[in-house]
C-alpha cells in the first residue's frame, strides 16, 4: 500500500534512549545507572489497597475524570502542599500517567502554527507531543552556568506573537535542576506580560533536597493560566500503575476531559483506589524514600568531586548531570564506550535535547551498594580516558 503511514508520525525522531536499551538488553551482566523510575517497590499498604479493590470487584470504569474520592484527595493534597485550591468537580482530571496529561494538555490548547516553548534538556515527550498536536515546538536551551534553570531573559528572548504555552519541567529530568520561588517569580512576570499559558510538569515535586518544592501555581496570577501536571509514579514508586493527573482552569480541563474520554475512557480503576490510599497515608513513605535518595545524591556528588568530574549540584528528582566535555567525545560516544568497556549503562544527555551534548544523565534510583559498584567503574573509566589523552 502506498502512503500507508502518517508523515507526522514517521517524522518524529525515535527516542535516543532506545539504542542503549537495545545494547543493554543483550548484555546479561551489565550494570545500569540508566533508569528513570524508583528502585523501591510501591509501599505495601498501597499495593494492598489495590488488591483489596480487586477482591471487592471494583473492576468497572470510573467516571471519565476519575474517582471523585481521588480527585478530592488530590485537591486536599495540593491545598496542603501548595496552599492553592482546586474544585475537584471541574478542575481535576485523572490521567494515565503524567505522560497522558502532557499529550492531551497540549492538544487541548494549541492551534496549528502556535508555538510551544520547551526548555531542554528535558523529558523526551514534550517535543513529539507538541508536534502531534499540530504546534511548532520552540526549544529554549538551558545552560549549565544557570544550573539549568530557566531565566526570565531566556524566556523573553524565545517568546514571539505565536507563543501559546510554556512547558515548565521542574524539578527536571534529566538535570535534577529545580526552580525556586525567586526564579519562578521572575519568569511569571514575563508570562503575565505576554499573556501565555504554562504547562508545569511537577512529577518530581516531592523529590527536592533543598527547601520545600514551590509550584508556579503559588505565584500571583499563575493558577488561572497553568495546567499543573503531577502523578504517583515518582513520589510513591508507582510507575507501573500508570496514574497521573492534571489540574487547571475549568475551561481547559473540560477540553482535556473530552480528549481523554475519547482516547482513554478513564484511568485504571485499581490504580485509582490504590492512589487514594497513597494520598491518605503515604506521607511517611515519601519522606523515607526521599531521605534515601538524598543520601545517594550526596554520595554521588562526593564521588564526582573525588574523580574531578565537573557537575553542578542538583537539588531535585533522582538524577545528576555530570559534564564530560573534557574527554573530547560526544555524550553518545562516551556512553557507548562506557557501556561496552565497563558494562555500565548511562543515558547520553543528548537523549533529552541537543543541548544535552557534553553531559550524561546518571540516575540514583539504585541502592548505595549498586551505586558504589557502578561509580567505581566510572572512576576507572575516567582515569583510563585521562591517561589515553
Partner 1 sequence: MREELLSIIERNSRIDLKELAVILGVEEIDVVNELQALEEEGIVCGYHTMIDWEKTSIEKVSALIEVRVTPQRGQGFDNIAERIYKYPEVTSVYLISGGFDLLVTLEGKSLKEISGFVSDKLSTLESVLSTATHFILKKYKDHGTILTKKYEDKREKVSP
The residues that touch partner 1, with contacts defined as CB under 8 A, are 15, 17, 20-21, 24-25, 30, 32, 34-37, 39, 123-125, 173, 291, 294-296, 298-299, 302, 345, 347, 351, 367-368
- Residue 320 pairs with which residues in a beta bridge? 362
8-state DSSP, 284? H
For the bound state, the minimum distance from the C-beta of residue 295 to partner 1, rounded and expressed in Å, comes to 4
- Give the three cell numbers for residue 285: 513513605
**Of 58 and 343, which CB lies nearer to partner 1 in the complex structure?**
343
Residue with smaller CB distance to partner 1, 279 or 345: 345
Q: By C-beta, is 86 or 204 nearer to partner 1?
A: 204
Q: Which is nearer to partner 1, 86 or 366 (CB)?
A: 366
Determine the Cα–Cα distance for residues 170 and 183; give it in Å rounded to an integer.
Answer: 11
Residues 6+ apart with CB under 8 A from 94: 62, 65, 66, 67, 70, 71, 74, 243, 244, 245, 266, 267, 272
* Closest by CA position to 338, among listed 86, 58, 10, 27: 27
Give the max Cα distance, the chain: 65
Q: Which CB atom, from 156 or from 306, has the smaller least distance to partner 1? A: 306
Please state the closest distance from residue 186 (CB atom) to partner 1, in A. 28
User: With respect to partner 1, which residue has the nearer C-beta, 298 or 308?
Assistant: 298
Strand order in the sheet with 360-363: 319-320, 360-363, 347-348
Phi-psi region of 371 (alpha: psi -120 to 50; beta: other; left: phi over 0): alpha
CB nearer to partner 1: give 38 or 248: 38
Closer to partner 1 by Cβ: residue 217 or 317: 317
Residue 214 near residue 244 (C-beta atoms within 8 A): no
CA separation for the pair 180, 61 (Å, rounded): 39
The nearest distance, CB 384 to partner 1, in angstroms, is 23
Q: CA-based Rg of the chain, rounded to a whole angstrom? A: 21
CA distance 111 to 81: 33
**Toward partner 1, which CB reaches closer, 184 or 203?**
203
Closest distance between partner 1 and the C-beta of residue 219, in Å? 29
Q: List the strands of the sheet with 226-231, edge to edge.
A: 92-95, 244-247, 226-231, 197-201, 163-168, 115-120, 136-141
Question: Mapped to the 3 state alphabet, what secondary structure does 55-77 carry?
Answer: HCCCCCCCCCCCCHHHHHHHHHH
**Measured distance CA(265)–CA(260) in Å, rounded:** 6
Least distance from partner 1 to the Cβ atom of residue 17, Å:
5
Quote the least distance from Cβ 105 to partner 1, whole Å.
18
Amino acid at each position: 500500500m502506498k502512503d500507508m503511514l502518517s508523515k507526522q508520525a514517521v517524522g518524529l525522531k525515535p527516542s535516543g534512549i532506545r539504542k542503549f536499551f537495545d545494547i543493554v538488553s543483550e548484555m546479561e551482566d551489565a550494570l545500569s545507572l540508566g533508569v528513570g523510575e524508583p528502585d523501591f517497590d510501591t509501599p505495601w499498604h498501597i499495593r494492598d489497597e489495590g488488591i483489596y479493590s480487586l477482591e471487592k470487584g471494583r473492576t468497572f470504569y470510573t467516571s471519565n475524570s476519575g474517582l471523585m474520592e481521588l480527585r478530592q484527595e488530590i485537591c486536599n493534597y495540593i491545598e496542603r502542599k501548595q496552599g492553592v485550591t482546586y474544585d475537584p468537580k471541574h478542575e481535576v482530571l485523572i490521567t494515565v500517567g503524567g505522560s497522558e496529561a502532557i499529550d492531551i494538555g497540549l492538544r487541548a490548547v494549541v492551534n496549528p502554527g502556535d508555538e510551544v516553548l520547551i526548555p531542554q534538556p528535558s523529558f523526551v515527550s514534550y517535543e513529539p507531543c507538541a508536534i502531534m498536536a499540530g504546534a511548532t515546538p520552540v526549544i529554549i536551551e538551558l545552560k549549565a552556568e544557570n544550573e539549568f534553570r530557566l531565566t526570565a531573559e531566556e524566556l523573553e528572548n524565545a517568546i514571539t506573537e505565536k507563543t501559546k504555552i510554556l512547558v515548565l519541567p521542574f524539578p527536571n529530568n534529566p538535570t535534577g535542576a529545580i526552580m525556586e520561588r525567586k526564579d519562578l517569580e521572575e519568569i511569571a512576570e514575563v508570562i503575565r506580560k505576554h499573556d501565555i499559558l504554562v504547562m508545569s510538569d511537577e512529577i518530581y515535586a516531592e523529590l527536592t533536597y533543598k527547601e520545600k518544592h514551590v509550584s508556579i501555581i503559588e505565584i500571583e496570577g499563575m493558577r488561572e493560566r497553568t495546567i499543573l501536571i503531577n502523578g504517583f509514579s515518582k513520589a510513591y514508586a508507582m510507575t507501573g500503575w500508570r496514574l497521573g493527573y492534571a489540574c487547571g482552569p475549568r475551561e481547559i480541563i473540560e477540553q482535556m476531559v473530552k480528549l481523554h474520554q475519547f482516547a482513554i475512557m478513564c484511568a485504571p480503576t485499581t490504580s485509582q483506589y490504590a492512589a487514594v490510599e497513597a494520598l491518605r497515608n503515604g506521607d511517611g513513605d515519601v519522606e523515607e524514600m526521599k531521605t534515601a535518595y538524598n543520601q545517594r545524591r550526596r554520595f554521588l556528588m562526593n564521588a564526582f568531586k573525588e574523580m574531578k568530574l565537573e557537575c553542578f549540584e542538583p537539588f531535585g528528582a533522582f538524577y545528576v548531570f555530570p559534564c564530560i566535555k573534557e574527554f573530547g567525545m560526544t555524550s553518545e560516544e562516551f556512553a557507548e564506550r562506557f557501556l561496552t568497556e565497563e558494562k555500565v549503562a548511562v543515558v547520553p544527555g543528548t537523549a533529552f535535547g541537543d543541548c544535552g551534548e557534553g553531559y550524561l544523565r546518571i540516575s540514583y534510583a539504585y541502592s548505595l551498594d549498586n551505586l558504589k559498584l557502578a561509580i567505581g567503574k566510572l572512576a576507572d573509566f575516567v582515569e583510563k580516558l585521562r591517561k589515553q589523552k
